[in-house]
Structure 1
């Protein structure tokens, strides 16, 4: 076990110099690449989808046919800052939080 510790210790005499700086740079490269991959595959598409959803909510108006995140279909009867009132059946109105509107139906 002691021999393994000496084998992993590095060059004798503790010489680091230019090689030590290069080794630190080489260890940082995979981290930068992983961050780039996460950004382009996870973070960026999620931000784009959130922006599209905000645009959809801003364009919401009375008379739109919508589908909520829970799957409820209905027609918008009024829109406030955070509340949407929708008609799910003739004479049956429910209030939902505006952010739970998933899509506007295209009929």
Structure 2
């Protein structure tokens, strides 16, 4: 499988996140948060916080961090590593490609 269509560039302003559902090679659903950082850069990460099992797309984006709205853990959008507790496990990070107005995510190439 290769990169999949996730959303349009116009769907997301900087410092915002959007939950999307993509399809894994085995046919299962993968919930991904598409995120634009403060500089307008694009990121794709697992949409579930590794501590509280809630959507990260509902959290605040600041710089290259996204904050879980439930307990305040923050995750680095480039590495998926938690930068503040209580989360201690990283989220997966997926490659993003912009083709014209289309945002594509390759869930097969997760970090």
TM exceeds 0.5?
A: no
Q: Which has the larger radius of gyration?
A: 1
Q: TM-score, normalised on structure 2?
A: 0.24
Higher strand share: 2
Higher helix share: 1
Ranked by relative contact order (alpha carbons within 8 Å, sequence separation 6 or more), the top structure is 2
Q: TM-score, normalised on structure 1?
A: 0.25
